[in-house]
Amino acid sequence: MGKFYIDGGKRLEGSLRVQGGKNAVLPILAATVLNGDISYIKDCPKILDVSTMINILKSIGCSVKWEGKTLIIDSSTVSSYEVPENLVREMRSSIIFLGSVLGKYKKVIISYPGGCPLGPRPIDLHLKALKQLGVKIKEEHGFIICEASKLTGAKIHLDFPSVGATENIMLAAVLAEGKTVIYNAAKEPEIKDLQDFLNGMGAKVSGASTDIITIEGVKSLHKVEHKVIPDRIVAGTYLIAAAITKGEVKLTNVEPNHIQAIISKLKEVGCKIHEEKNSVYLKAPKNLKSVDIVRTQPYPGFPTDMQAQMMSLLTMTKGTSIITETVFESRYKHVEELMRMGADITLEGRTAIIKGGLDLTGTTVYAKDLRGGAALIIAGLVAKGTTIVEGAKHIERGYERIDKDLNLLGASIRKEN
């Protein structure tokens, strides 16, 4: 696996365009199965998770090709409703094919995704909802076998506003008979992007961004062209990278409304932020201040996907800060790596207490998951000497070119395979 070498101590300055959204495009790629036609996905990020999705699409019979930053998928040739086990293991969010393949072909076989570095990630809410749409589900030898003679709209209340479950229900309900209503739906911007994509191919979905989503089943769908929304987590990651180096940056292709929870915390640490229609400017203070508490929550709360990067920033502030991770049970794999670099962090269950203001020192650390890996690169930007972040593959699951982007802003990062 590749490694990143980061020489710390460089201030980030300048301007950068943010890539298209990973968490928006993954469900959209699964949704391309539904139209049995061509989908043009513009500003599709060239990341490892997208490659895995492409491999799944090809394995079930789609033809897929790139034209610049546009991914073109033809799903008229789908010949299998079985999602290969090795690819589901590579990327947990491939469980999103459950809804789309089932919605289109009334049958799907997919392996059970199991746990992941963030702790247990159950899919009980997904399966319970699909049963309400009329799906018969068998779980055998680690596989989930779903079948329905027909899918029928239903009223579904989610016990938790799960992003994945909301997406799977939307995908399964688009071609179902009658109306489906999801109560306590996830409100993430990526859900709205999926709604826009589905409506672009002729679906009748409304209510995304609120906690009630309505899907009126339609008989058929057609060709679609769609531009993916900007990646709010990549934007947040780069703003924090600038803040930790006491830098000054402007990010373009950003939807400021999507990152208000992150902006609010960056203001608390003392950054000056200026928002425009599709861009954000940040200037960091000379001395960063600690924050009382960062609590991860479903959108519009502070994103769990930004918790690790925020922690790196808080190691550099004056005073003690607290982070509480309420979404995932064990999303603190980056803590011991940050401590190896000299950070003072105490874990008490889901809470992390960060005593800021100590110097970090470059050493070899390991990226155990995507965002935790990004957090280590951020820490490396201010550590004394060279930080080696192993496990580059995890980071490349979601960042198109983190080394090149940060180097453009003045960092000194190189990658070795």
Order across the sheet with 344-348: list the strands.
Answer: 293-296, 320-325, 351-355, 344-348
Q: Considering the rule CB under 6 A, would residue 115 count as an interface residue with ligand UD1? A: no
Looking at the Cβ atoms of 245 and 304, the one nearer to ligand UD1 is 304
Q: Considering the rule CB under 6 A, would residue 359 count as an interface residue with ligand UD1? A: no
Looking at the Cβ atoms of 27 and 103, the one nearer to ligand UD1 is 27
Site for ligand UD1 (CB under 6 A): which residue of 20, 134, 164, 230? 164
Q: Which of 62, 116, 146, 271 is catalytic?
A: 116
Looking at the Cβ atoms of 81 and 328, the one nearer to ligand UD1 is 328
Q: Considering the rule CB under 6 A, would residue 403 count as an interface residue with ligand UD1? A: no
Q: How far apart are CA 68 and CA 90, in angstroms?
A: 25
Determine the interface stretch with ligand UD1 among 80-88, 162-170, 389-397, 401-409 (rule: CB under 6 A): 162-170
Determine the interface stretch with ligand UD1 among 115-123, 208-216, 359-367, 405-413 (rule: CB under 6 A): 115-123
In the bound complex, what is the minimum distance in angstroms from residue 372's beta carbon to ligand UD1? 11
Q: Considering the rule CB under 6 A, would residue 304 count as an interface residue with ligand UD1? A: yes
Site for ligand UD1 (CB under 6 A): which residue of 125, 151, 282, 291? 125
Q: Considering the rule CB under 6 A, would residue 131 count as an interface residue with ligand UD1? A: no
Q: How far apart are CA 271 and CA 370, in angstroms?
A: 25
Q: How far apart are CA 70 and CA 77, in angstroms?
A: 20
The per-residue DSSP string of 14-67 comes to: EEEEPPBPHHHHHHHHHHTTTTSSEEEEET----HHHHHHHHHHHHTT-EEEEE
In the bound complex, what is the minimum distance in angstroms from residue 341's beta carbon to ligand UD1? 24
Site for ligand UD1 (CB under 6 A): which residue of 80, 136, 157, 160? 160
Q: 202: which 2 tokens?
A: 């002729």
Site for ligand UD1 (CB under 6 A): which residue of 298, 356, 373, 380? 298
Closest by alpha carbon to 75, among 43, 111, 108, 29? 29
Contacting ligand UD1 within 8-27 (CB under 6 A): 23
Looking at the Cβ atoms of 66 and 160, the one nearer to ligand UD1 is 160
Q: 375: which 2 tokens?
A: 């957090």
Active-site residue 116, yes or no?
yes
Find tokens 């208000």 and name the residue. 260
Q: Considering the rule CB under 6 A, would residue 279 count as an interface residue with ligand UD1? A: no
What is residue 243's three-state secondary structure?
Answer: helix
Q: How far apart are CA 8 and CA 395, in angstroms?
A: 19
In the bound complex, what is the minimum distance in angstroms from residue 21's beta carbon to ligand UD1? 9
* Dihedral pair phi/psi, residue 364, rounded to 5°: -90, 125
Contacting ligand UD1 within 322-341 (CB under 6 A): 327-328
The C-alpha R_g of the chain, in whole angstroms, comes to: 21
Partnered with residue 230 across adjacent β-strands are: 20
| Cβ-Cβ contacts under 8 Å for 128 (sequence gap 6 or more) | none
Q: Are strands 224-227 and 38-42 parallel, antiparallel or unpaired?
A: parallel
Q: Which residues are catalytic?
A: 116
Q: Site residues (CB under 6 A) for ligand UD1? A: 23, 121-126, 160, 162-165, 186, 188, 298, 303-305, 327-328
